[in-house]
Amino acid sequence: MKILTADQIKKCDSATIENGISSINLMEKAANACVDWIQVNFKQAKRFLIFCGQGNNGGDGLAIARLLYEKGFDVEVFIEKNQMKFSADAEINFKRLKLIKGIDINNFSDVLIVNNEKSVIVDALFGYGLNRELSNDFKNLIEKLNQIPVPKISIDIPTGLYADKINEEESAIFKADFTLTFQFYKRSFLHPETGKFCGKIEVLDIDLNSKFIDEVKTDYFVIDGSLIRKIYKPREDFSNKGSFGKSILIGGSYGKIGAVLMSTLSALRTGSGLTFTMAPECGNLILQSQVPEAMFIGVGEKYVDDIEVQEKAVYGIGPGLGKEKQTQKALFDFLKSYQNPMILDADALNILAESQNLNLIPKNSVITPHPLEFERLFGKTQNSFDRIELAKEKAEELQIFIVLKDHHTAVITPERKVYYNITGNSGMAKGGSGDVLTGILTSLISQKYDIEKACLFGVWLHGKAGDLAAAEFSEESMLPTDLINKIGEVFQNLS
Ligand SMILES: NC(=O)C1=CN([C@@H]2O[C@H](COP(=O)(O)OP(=O)(O)OC[C@H]3O[C@@H](n4cnc5c(N)ncnc54)[C@H](OP(=O)(O)O)[C@@H]3O)[C@@H](O)[C@H]2O)[C@@H](O)CC1
Ligand SMILES: [K+]
């Protein structure tokens, strides 16, 4: 799914209107989509307190107020009575609303502390039209609303957030439990500094002009289920273990054998035909007894001191590797003698960061840093938006894929495209989750998935398995090994 900027959404809006539907009817459609969702998800609510701005986001709020009232809910509307100069469509909806006797229209300043647990606050103050910091009056209102302990819904975007950039200063931002957004994810929903204000995101389809959406150019995408269905290749009949590639996971050191073990197990669970673990001898017994399906190649006693080059294999290097001098030398020797794409993670990245010898990374390789590893490799950035920009530069410069791990992991391609993943949960923020991802990616690439597609599929699959694990064990209790055991269920649901 494409992510558009606020500017592009505005153009998409116009293209939709030029194509037949009037702007007021488009607003009605948007409001109806919200009300349909609210009716299903807030059946028990009694009273909706709806805060409306003067633009079209406010217009949506005014239409939602009328429609909810018609469905039998109690509704109160809050506007800035003295300074209101509504947009054309908001004005029409305001007039429609005023015809209804049962809806109180109050001033923002009339907001009281609401303790009724059956009340819901709806934020329709600003949407994608926000183009500057909020005035103090709005900031005070939002701070007040954020204190009220009732469920909160934002229409399109939580007020105070921009659609596609980070706020310049400490701003007051409406803290939603749910954001009902129209047609597209906005970039700000997917970054940690801004996304934390959105709560659960529901994307509501309002039939915006599909030709415009198909043709509009963007570097930013969300990885959704329909994209994955196009990427997924079911296993062919009449095949043998040689048809599904050879994965070699390299890593482990004394005390960190578990990391490479989890990568190995994940590669197997993702379908790798032949799977090897290249690890120090101290891991032999552990690996052979825990993962009998994998073959063991001993390299060193307590840490990896050599990397064997094998034909027609895909290497995933780094989990639990450590940074011993001999290990560093083994990695550099290997990178100097082997130029095929590989997956580099964890200590393999830390070793490269210390040497700053990043040109040794073979073209089309995949690196999987978390934000701190990214910083060690490429330097500090001010925020996660800047981090993505730097990642785009580096992915192009080095001609590699960067899988930037975060709450919403992003895949950045050498063509500077950015794909945000929306599966996964905070139960995965535990040591070991990254090792699982390395195994999954190695496995998919060894099965001849195109590298970009393997990255998209891999991060999605990883998150999806994490979601199934969280549903069974809770985010707190789920382990990376539970996630590995759920990979199969994700494949079952795909086929
Ligand atoms: N295709 C879709 O997705 C559809 C979208 N729809 C809805 O339309 C919404 C976008 O509406 P919108 O363009 O009227 O902008 P909105 O956010 O209401 O702001 C209003 C105006 O406020 C101003 N302003 C800006 N910053 C400010 C500030 N800090 N303090 C004070 N004022 C400030 C600025 O005007 P300016 O002052 O710059 O002239 C701005 O234009 C969208 O989010 C969705 O809810 C649906 O109805 C139909 C389909
Ligand atoms: K809003």
Model pLDDT, residue 110: 84
Q: Which ligand is nearest to the CA of 33?
A: 1
* Ligand 1 nearest-atom number relative to CA 89: 47
Q: Cβ atoms within 10 A of the Cβ of 115, count?
A: 9
Model pLDDT, residue 333: 97
pLDDT in tens, 431-459: 999 999 999 999 999 999 999 999 999 99
Model pLDDT, residue 292: 97
Confidence of residue 171 (pLDDT cuts 50, 70, 90): confident
The CA-atom distances, in angstroms, between 155 and each of 63, 230, 236 are 12, 31, 46
- Ligand 1 binding pocket (C-beta < 6 A) is 9, 13, 26-27, 30, 53, 55-60, 87, 126-135, 155-157, 182-183, 206, 208
pLDDT in tens, 220-273: 999 999 999 999 999 988 887 778 899 999 999 999 999 999 999 999 999 999
- Domain 228-494 sits in CATH at 3.40.1190.20
Q: Which ligand is nearest to the CA of 85?
A: 1
CA of 181 to the centre of ligand 2 (A): 9
Of 112, 101, 31, nearest in space to 78 by CA: 112
Residue 114 has pLDDT above 80, yes or no: no
CA of 209 to the centre of ligand 1 (A): 19
Residue 207 has pLDDT above 90, yes or no: yes
pLDDT in tens, 65-80: 999 999 999 999 999 9
Confidence of residue 169 (pLDDT cuts 50, 70, 90): confident
Cα–Cα dist 310/323, whole Å: 23
Residue 83 has pLDDT above 90, yes or no: no
Confidence of residue 480 (pLDDT cuts 50, 70, 90): very high
Model pLDDT, residue 115: 61
Of 418, 346, 433, 247, nearest in space to 410 by CA: 418
SS3 157: coil
Mean of the pLDDT values across residues 378-405?
A: 98
Mean of the pLDDT values across residues 450-475?
A: 98
pLDDT in tens, 347-378: 999 999 999 899 999 999 999 999 999 999 99
Q: 223 pairs with which residues across the strands? A: 421
Cα–Cα dist 477/427, whole Å: 7
Is the fold of 6-218 the same as that of 228-494? no
Q: Where are the beta strands (DSSP E) in 93-207?
A: 104-107, 119-124, 152-155, 178-182, 200-204
Lowest mean pLDDT among 79-83, 106-110, 273-277, 452-456: 79-83
Interacting residues of 357 by C-beta distance below 8 A, sequence separation 6+:
332
Give the residue, out of 84, 126, 179, with the most ligand 1 atoms within 8 A of its beta carbon, to mutate for a pocket test: 126
130 is known to lie in a ligand binding site: yes
Of 3, 467, 21, nearest in space to 189 by CA: 3
Mean of the pLDDT values across residues 283-312?
A: 96
Confidence of residue 113 (pLDDT cuts 50, 70, 90): low
The CA-atom distances, in angstroms, between 237 and each of 240, 242, 351 are 9, 13, 42
CA of 463 to the centre of ligand 2 (A): 28
Model pLDDT, residue 170: 77
Model pLDDT, residue 442: 98
* Ligand 1 nearest-atom number relative to CA 59: 47
**H or E element at residue 147:** helix 136-147
Q: Which ligand is nearest to the CA of 56?
A: 1
Model pLDDT, residue 20: 85
Residue 89 in tokens:
């469509």
Interacting residues of 183 by C-beta distance below 8 A, sequence separation 6+:
9, 12, 203, 204, 205, 206, 208
CA of 89 to the centre of ligand 2 (A): 16
CATH architecture of the domain formed by 6-218: 3-Layer(aba) Sandwich (3.40)
Q: What percentage of residues in the chain have a pLDDT greater than 70? A: 99
CA of 355 to the centre of ligand 1 (A): 49
Residue 316 has pLDDT above 90, yes or no: yes
CA of 246 to the centre of ligand 1 (A): 53
The CA-atom distances, in angstroms, between 207 and each of 33, 163, 291, 299 are 11, 20, 50, 58
Domain spans, the chain: 6-218, 228-494
254 is known to lie in a ligand binding site: no
Of 62, 38, 27, 2, nearest in space to 183 by CA: 2
Give the residue, out of 131, 132, 162, with the most ligand 1 atoms within 8 A of its beta carbon, to mutate for a pocket test: 131
* Ligand 1 nearest-atom number relative to CA 27: 47
